[in-house]
Amino acid sequence: MVVRWKVRVLLPVLLWFLFQGIPLLAIRLTPCQLAGQLYILDVPKSELPLWLCIAQFESRFNTHVVGQRNDDGSRDYGLFQISDRYWCAPPNQTEYHAFNECNVNCTRLLGEDITMAVQCAKRIQRQQGWTAWSVYPEFCNGTLEAIDECFQPGNTTTECSDEVIGC
Ligand SMILES: *[C@@H]1O[C@H](CO)[C@@H](O)[C@H](O)[C@H]1NC(C)=O
Ligand SMILES: *[C@@H]1O[C@H](CO)[C@@H](O)[C@H](O)[C@H]1NC(C)=O
Ligand SMILES: *[C@@H]1O[C@H](CO)[C@@H](O)[C@H](O)[C@H]1NC(C)=O
Ligand SMILES: *[C@@H]1O[C@H](CO)[C@@H](O)[C@H](O)[C@H]1NC(C)=O
């Protein structure tokens, strides 16, 4: 009986998640995969090393990371650790939430489709510059790893694979 109950409850829940388009799949991208996806999403090639550096130090390229609570109770979401204080709407009502500048639910900044995370990160960068990311001065304001190799023929960046969506 218990098992049947679980199935009856869980299946609709699963379907609900699917139809909400809430990403269930969490992935860790390789640097070149991220470079390829950013490029497809219209990030200029010259900016790619910097975006990769920020993603590396913010999330280690994990798309699904939700950060520990900050001092004010807020949390940071996804590849670029975007704050739910100003930029996205947290799943629950919170005291600290002030704006939803990117007009997006924070959960959409997680998971394998990185489109919203990238659009929101671009907006943040336009408004605040690279120093919006606390890792920038320490780790990303200097010599960065070149990304040229990612775009060599024979590399897998922009080619479709199971992990690369949107192509
Ligand atoms: C949101 O609220 C639900 C139910 O109160 C809780 O289980 C969940 O952990 C909360 N989510 C976050 C991100 O705090
Ligand atoms: C966020 O999620 C809520 C509840 O699922 C929905 O009503 C709202 O339209 C969503 N907002 C955006 C900007 O997607
Ligand atoms: C970045 O590096 C330059 C040159 O070393 C320095 O002048 C600048 O203050 C640094 N910016 C930040 C935000 O640390
Ligand atoms: C593909 O990119 C990776 C990471 O930058 C690099 O280590 C590798 O040598 C590249 N492979 C080719 C064939 O260029």
Domain edges within the chain: 27-151
- pLDDT, one tens digit per residue, over 78-100 is 999 999 999 999 998 888 999 99
Q: Which of 14-18, 138-142, 146-150 has the highest mean pLDDT?
A: 138-142
Catalytic site residue 101? no
Tokens linked to 167: 């192509």
162 in catalytic set? no
**Phi and psi, residue 105, nearest 5°:** -75, 135
**Residue 8 or 138, more confident:** 138
Question: Domain spanning 27-151: which CATH class is it, in words?
Answer: mainly alpha
For a pLDDT cut of 90, what percent of the chain falls above it? 62
Where residue 34 falls (left for φ over 0; alpha for ψ -120 to 50; beta otherwise) is alpha
The partner residues of 77 in beta bridges, in order of sequence, read 66, 82
Per residue in 49-69, pLDDT tens? 999 999 999 999 999 999 999
User: 103: Cβ below 6 Å to ligand 2?
Assistant: yes
Centre of ligand 2 to C-alpha 34, Å, is 27
For ligand 3, atom 13: residue with the closest CA: 137
Is 0.85 surpassed by the pTM of this model? Answer: no
What is the average pLDDT across 145-151?
Answer: 90
Between CA 79 and CA 34 the distance in angstroms is 10
Residues within a 6 A CB radius of ligand 4: 31-32, 149-150, 152, 154-155
Look at residue 164 in the predicted model and tell me its pLDDT.
44
What 3-state DSSP class applies to 78?
coil
Q: What is the mean pLDDT of the chain?
A: 84
Nearest atom of ligand 4 to the alpha carbon of 156:
1
DSSP label at 69? P
Q: How far apart are CA 97 and CA 118, in angstroms?
A: 21
Tell which residue, 25, 51, 82, 79, has the closest CA to residue 150.
51
